A and B are shown apart, each in its own frame.
Chain A
Amino acid sequence: MIRTRLVAQRLAFLFLLGCLFFNYPLLSVFNQGGSLFGMPPLYAWLMASWLVLIALLALVVERKHD
């Protein structure tokens, strides 16, 4: 339940984590040529971190027991 304070706070933490993932300076680390899993590092990083973030969001809100 979002209404419980702890869940809301965990989500807010993920918000901050997302802000970190999706912005400078972390972005500049991957902003270079080359290849990561056959993809440009920046693209790979953004898609992967995005997916991880979504998974964490699901984990936080769908967890039945707290």
Chain B
Amino acid sequence: MLQGWVIVLASFLYLGVLFGIAWYADHRADHGRSLIANPVVYALSLGVYCTTWTFYGSVGRAAANGIGFLPIYLGPTLLFALAGFILYRMIRVAKSNRITSIADLVASRYGKSQLLGGLVTVIAVVGVIPYIALQLKAVSNSFTILSSYPDIVMPASAGAVPLFQDSALYVAMILAAFTILFGTRHLDATERHEGMVAAIAVESIVKLVAFLAVGAFVVWGLHGGVADIFARAAEVPEVARRLTRADTSAAYGSWGTLIFLSLFAALLLPRQFQIAVVENVDVKHLNRAVWMFPLYLFLINLFVLPVALAGLLHFPAGTVDADTFVLTLPMAHQQEGLALFVFIGGLSAATGMVIVETIALSTMVCNDLVMPLLLRLRWLGLAEKADLSGLLLEIRRWAIAVILGLGYLYFRVAGEAYALVSIGLISFAAVAQFAPVVIGGLFWKGGTRDGAVAGLVAGFVLWAYTLLLPSFAKSGWLPEGFIAHGLFGIELLRPQQLLGLTGLDEITHCLVWSLLANLGAYVGVSLLRVPNAREARQASLFVGGTDLAGHTAWGGSAGVADLLPLAARFLGRERAEEGFLRHARSRSLKSVDELPGDARLANFAETLLAGAIGSASARAMVASVVSEEPLGLDEVMNILDEASQVRAYSRELEQKSQELTRATAELRQANERLRELDRMKDDFISTVTHELRTPLTSIRAFSEMLHEDPKIDLAQRTRFLAIIVSETVRLSRLINQILDLAKLESGRAEWTVAAVDVGEVIREAADSLTALFAEKRVALDMDDLHPGLTVMADRDRLMQVMVNLLSNALKFVPADSGRVRVGAEGTASEVRVRVWDNGPGIHAADHEVIFDKFRQGSGGTDVLTDKPQGTGLGLPISRQIIEYFHGRLWVESTSGAGACFVFTLPRQAGDNNKLATAERESQRGGPAAGAALSDSGGKHNGVRGGSQ
């Protein structure tokens, strides 16, 4: 005895179990151990496609026209054969763009248009409401029938039942409460509902097993197998006609249309999109679903025709609604348990559909319709609110309630006029209107927002006119004449024979017109203008590739021919080609040449380059070859921002390269200077060698002659010996001066700095040379020397300079008539000493040359001209000494008019660091340094004295 309360209790128990499963799955998900991350669960959850339409309606459809129920399942089978092209891409696009519904997808694809999002939502809600009504009708009917057990009583027309005695109302309310519990417990940014998916997968199993149980009972319990049923059916002419189809082109056209329609429905119905795309955990799960979901459809349809035929054979024609055969056949054979199980299966099919559909719709209503409107109402101040999640959940709950309310309303208004399947097909036709904008949006870059709006509006209006309004008319809510005579009585506007098109069933008729208008408007309006920047960018995200998330997408494109040489410029040919080949392989292409010149390639090239030259430069480089389409303000601002970084970077690069050029020039200069120094060193050594060898030659020659020939007379012998002695002296002096100079130049000379009276030094130097001057009979005049011409210097070194200058002058003035004059004067800052002579003077060109080593003034530029006197080192040494004390030594002279050597010394030599450092070093030098220096000190004195 199946009391009403038993059925109700069983129903609530079942819903309770479902809720428990959902709760457990959510709990697992919260702990990171997802129950639904499994390809089988994914494939099973896709079974939400099979609603009460399938569970009860297919048999009804089959009872009416045989195999005609089947296209609805062949379509999805074909859709999954296209998974690699459509579903796979859709999932990738949805994941990378965080798309949460079909409305979101369309809005996002056409430039994130709120208008489109709202439009799709309205179409989806209006289109799907008949479908929800279908579920309510099926559940309430099955409840009514089952509760009359053991009698088989068809339920009264819904309109005839008072509102509060209508079980459909309670079904709607219970389903609304259940859905709210399921889907709006908390908010998930990804709009994913793990618990719901787990429950749906379980429901898929329940309804399949229930249906297979009925099928097995009917086929083997009531008959002797499938062949038996078909054989019996063939005997009854009234039933036998269901075994074949009308062999007309219209019938085949209608058949094909349904396959086509269901293919799109399985993709575009809000609940299908929710399960297949939004709830997809891993795109790889699609692999299993490709065959498992079609197999599910196959199994659930396996017994449809046999059950339908059995029902027709069992019940007298017209007594029992064929939509209820699944339930009434077991009841008629007193199978209470099976009947209850069937009811639960039907409940399963209905709840699954209603839960997922209304959750998906409520998400759309909330995100794409209500929230944009609320956010526009500034007086609500929502935009400033930090946490809107509570409000969002509230909106969704109300949306669920309202949608189910509308479904119930449709059921009351139009539900009786149609069989289950026909009601469902109205919804299928509605969502098919999304096909052009969705499929077109995934494969065609040219679609614009305006085109999408135009297509959707055109398709929706025609759908409503040719399918929805007639359903109201047939239920008496609109005048019957509307269908028979057209709007305003215009025959051409008859909704189901529009423009006189006849011979098609109403679904095909609706699809022909609505999709024609839809596609035409979408493509036609899109082609009115080129996509703007936002549309173009989104188009490249959707059409161009599937894994562009995180990149700044390239608006334009460039081919391998451009990008490969660019990469090769920075990475080298080999590495660039290797990288491109890898990229080609990752896109399942055999060679680099097959790579399409799309945004993905540009992104790849950018990434490849970024590794080598930094991301900003890489973008700039790729930009130089990618032909970018015009961009909107946002993009321009972004790129300006990046471009300024690039500019800064390139400025830096330029600066660096300038610095490099400068450094290179400096290095080249230094190198030249080094080479010059090297050459000078070689010359110096060569000259020194020559200077040393010359006296040695005389010494050796004379010594050998004296040694080998003892008979040389005394006068000769004495003369030779004198030459040897003088050459030896010359050699020693030379060596000492070379050493002295080397010491001065290397800064290792010993300095004893003290206050020195320059006048005193001059007098002393002159005194020491008196004999030489007298010998050559040259006059040495001295100006009055003011006392107090003191400088900070090394007295001995200063003496060395003075002696050198005086002996130099003496050397070049003629004997007897020669004159040399010395003067000194002081200013506040320096002391100036002059040595005049009336010698031959010095060419202006030689004024500096004479201070070079081994060069002596003569008039020629050749080295060591006019050499008889001096070593050629006196003046260089003197200049070193004067410059050490920060003074200057130079010559003022014109050829033939005598010469004047001048040197200056600063009064306060103490202010220069070099001196102070030298002093410190000499003090710190210690005994060893002192000894080494004093060792040569004696020789210095000797040299100085004899320095001509």
Task: Say yes or no: A54-B291 contact (C-beta < 8 A), given A11-B84, A12-B81, A15-B82.
Answer: yes
B298 touches A38 (CB 8 A): no
Q: Which residues of A contact B74 (CB under 8 A)?
A: 18, 22, 46, 50
B227 touches A50 (CB 8 A): no
Task: Say yes or no: A11-B70 contact (C-beta < 8 A), given A19-B78, A23-B259, A43-B305.
Answer: no
Chain A residues 1 to 56 lying within 8 A of chain B, measured CB to CB, are 1-9, 11-12, 14-15, 18-19, 22-24, 27-28, 31-33, 35, 37-40, 42-43, 46-47, 50-51, 53-55
A13 to B765, CA, bound (A): 116
| Extra 11 A-B pairs, beta carbons < 8 Å, given A27-B255, A39-B230, A62-B288 | A3-B88, A5-B589, A23-B252, A23-B259, A24-B249, A27-B252, A28-B252, A42-B243, A57-B80, A58-B291, A58-B295
Q: Which residues of B contact A12 (CB under 8 A)?
A: 81-82, 84-85
Q: Which residues of A contact B252 (CB under 8 A)?
A: 23-24, 27-28
Q: Which residues of B contact A42 (CB under 8 A)?
A: 67, 243-245
Task: Say yes or no: A43-B243 contact (C-beta < 8 A), given A2-B88, A50-B74, A50-B298.
Answer: yes
Verify if B247 is at the interface (C-beta below 8 Å from A).
yes
Chain B residues 364 to 419 lying within 8 A of chain A, measured CB to CB, are none
A40 to B84, CA, bound (A): 34
Verify if B898 is at the interface (C-beta below 8 Å from A).
no
Chain B residues 210 to 268 lying within 8 A of chain A, measured CB to CB, are 225-227, 230-231, 234, 240, 243-245, 247, 249, 252, 255-256, 259
Q: Which residues of B contact A54 (CB under 8 A)?
A: 77, 291, 294-295, 298
B298 touches A2 (CB 8 A): no
Q: Which residues of A contact B360 (CB under 8 A)?
A: none
A58 to B290, CA, bound (A): 7
A39 to B303, CA, bound (A): 12
A2 to B305, CA, bound (A): 34
Verify if B286 is at the interface (C-beta below 8 Å from A).
yes
Query: Within the complex, what minimum Cβ distance (angstroms) separates A36 from chain B?
Result: 10
Query: Within the complex, what minimum Cβ distance (angstroms) separates B202 from chain A?
Result: 23
Query: Within the complex, what minimum Cβ distance (angstroms) separates A60 from chain B?
Result: 8
Query: Within the complex, what minimum Cβ distance (angstroms) separates A53 from chain B?
Result: 7
Q: Which residues of B contact A5 (CB under 8 A)?
A: 587-589
For the complex, count residues of A whose C-beta is within 8 A of B. 42
Verify if B287 is at the interface (C-beta below 8 Å from A).
yes
Query: Within the complex, what minimum Cβ distance (angstroms) separates B899 from chain A?
Result: 96
Verify if B748 is at the interface (C-beta below 8 Å from A).
no
A33 touches B287 (CB 8 A): no
Verify if B569 is at the interface (C-beta below 8 Å from A).
no
Query: Within the complex, what minimum Cβ distance (angstroms) separates A32 from chain B?
Result: 6
Q: Is the interface of A mostly helix, strand, loop or mixed?
A: helix
A2 touches B84 (CB 8 A): yes
B82 touches A11 (CB 8 A): yes
Verify if B284 is at the interface (C-beta below 8 Å from A).
yes
A11 touches B81 (CB 8 A): yes
**Which of A8, A38, A58 lies in contact with B231, CB distance below 8 A?**
A38
Q: Which residues of A contact B287 (CB under 8 A)?
A: 1-2, 61-62
A33 touches B82 (CB 8 A): no
CB nearest neighbor in B for A46: B70
A15 to B630, CA, bound (A): 39
Q: Which residues of A contact B80 (CB under 8 A)?
A: 57
Q: Is the interface of B mostly helix, strand, loop or mixed?
A: helix
Verify if B525 is at the interface (C-beta below 8 Å from A).
no
Verify if B455 is at the interface (C-beta below 8 Å from A).
no
Q: Which residues of A contact B81 (CB under 8 A)?
A: 11-12, 14-15, 18, 53, 57
Task: Say yes or no: A33-B244 contact (C-beta < 8 A), given A2-B287, A22-B74, A39-B227.
Answer: yes
7 A-B pairs with least C-beta separation:
A38-B227, A8-B84, A58-B291, A5-B588, A15-B81, A24-B252, A40-B243
Q: Which residues of A contact B111 (CB under 8 A)?
A: none
B83 touches A31 (CB 8 A): no
Can you give 20 contacting A-B residue pairs, CB < 8 Å?
A: A2-B84, A4-B588, A11-B82, A12-B81, A15-B78, A15-B81, A23-B256, A24-B255, A27-B255, A28-B252, A33-B243, A35-B227, A38-B226, A38-B231, A40-B230, A40-B234, A50-B74, A54-B291, A60-B290, A61-B288
Verify if B71 is at the interface (C-beta below 8 Å from A).
yes
A33 to B259, CA, bound (A): 24
A52 to B96, CA, bound (A): 35
Q: Name which of B82, B84, B240 has the most chain A CB atoms within 10 A of its CB.
A: B84
Q: Which residues of B contact A9 (CB under 8 A)?
A: 84
B284 touches A1 (CB 8 A): yes
Q: Which residues of B contact A50 (CB under 8 A)?
A: 74, 77, 294, 298
A46 to B245, CA, bound (A): 13
Chain B residues 52 to 108 lying within 8 A of chain A, measured CB to CB, are 67, 70-71, 74, 77-78, 80-85, 88
Give B269-308 as 1s and 0s: 1 = Cβ < 8 Å from A's Cβ atoms.
0000000000000011011101110110010001001000
A37 to B225, CA, bound (A): 12
**Which of B245, B294, B298, B588 lies in contact with A31, CB distance below 8 A?**
B245
A25 to B227, CA, bound (A): 26
CB nearest neighbor in B for A38: B227
Query: Within the complex, what minimum Cβ distance (angstroms) separates B235 from chain A?
Result: 12
A18 to B74, CA, bound (A): 8
Q: Which residues of A contact B589 (CB under 8 A)?
A: 5
Q: Which residues of A contact B295 (CB under 8 A)?
A: 54, 58
Query: Within the complex, what minimum Cβ distance (angstroms) separates A15 from chain B?
Result: 4
CB nearest neighbor in B for A51: B298
Task: Say yes or no: A7-B84 contact (C-beta < 8 A), given A42-B245, A61-B287.
Answer: yes
Q: Which residues of B contact A46 (CB under 8 A)?
A: 67, 70, 74
A58 to B230, CA, bound (A): 30
Task: Say yes or no: A23-B255 contact (C-beta < 8 A), given A11-B83, A39-B230.
Answer: yes
Query: Within the complex, what minimum Cβ distance (angstroms) separates A41 from chain B?
Result: 8
Query: Within the complex, what minimum Cβ distance (angstroms) separates A63 from chain B?
Result: 10
Give B33-65 as 1s and 0s: 1 = Cβ < 8 Å from A's Cβ atoms.
000000000000000000000000000000000
Q: Which residues of B contact A39 (CB under 8 A)?
A: 226-227, 230
Chain B residues 547 to 561 lying within 8 A of chain A, measured CB to CB, are none
A57 to B245, CA, bound (A): 28
A53 touches B294 (CB 8 A): yes
A30 to B243, CA, bound (A): 11
CB nearest neighbor in A for B284: A1
A58 to B305, CA, bound (A): 26
B230 touches A35 (CB 8 A): yes
Query: Within the complex, what minimum Cβ distance (angstroms) separates B552 from chain A?
Result: 24
Task: Say yes or no: A40-B244 contact (C-beta < 8 A), given A11-B83, A18-B74.
Answer: yes
A31 touches B244 (CB 8 A): yes
A32 to B245, CA, bound (A): 8
Task: Say yes or no: A57-B290 contact (C-beta < 8 A), given A12-B81, A27-B252, A38-B226.
Answer: yes
Query: Within the complex, what minimum Cβ distance (angstroms) separates A23 from chain B?
Result: 5
A1 to B587, CA, bound (A): 13
Q: Which residues of B contact A22 (CB under 8 A)?
A: 71, 74, 78, 259
**Which of A8, A28, A38 lies in contact with B247, CB distance below 8 A?**
A28
Query: Within the complex, what minimum Cβ distance (angstroms) separates A37 from chain B?
Result: 8
Query: Within the complex, what minimum Cβ distance (angstroms) separates A6 from chain B?
Result: 7
CB nearest neighbor in A for B240: A33
Task: Say yes or no: A2-B82 contact (C-beta < 8 A), given A39-B230, A46-B67.
Answer: no
CB nearest neighbor in B for A39: B230
Q: Which residues of A contact B85 (CB under 8 A)?
A: 8, 11-12
**Which of A1, A6, A18, A37 lies in contact with B77, CB distance below 8 A?**
A18
Q: Which residues of A contact B70 (CB under 8 A)?
A: 46
Q: Which residues of B contact A62 (CB under 8 A)?
A: 287-288, 291
CB nearest neighbor in A for B294: A54
A61 to B285, CA, bound (A): 11
B230 touches A61 (CB 8 A): no
Q: Which residues of B contact A7 (CB under 8 A)?
A: 84
Q: Which residues of B contact A60 (CB under 8 A)?
A: 290
Query: Within the complex, what minimum Cβ distance (angstroms) separates B250 from chain A?
Result: 11
Task: Say yes or no: A6-B588 contact (C-beta < 8 A), given A54-B295, A62-B291.
Answer: yes
Query: Within the complex, what minimum Cβ distance (angstroms) separates A64 from chain B?
Result: 11
Q: Which residues of B contact A11 (CB under 8 A)?
A: 81-85, 290
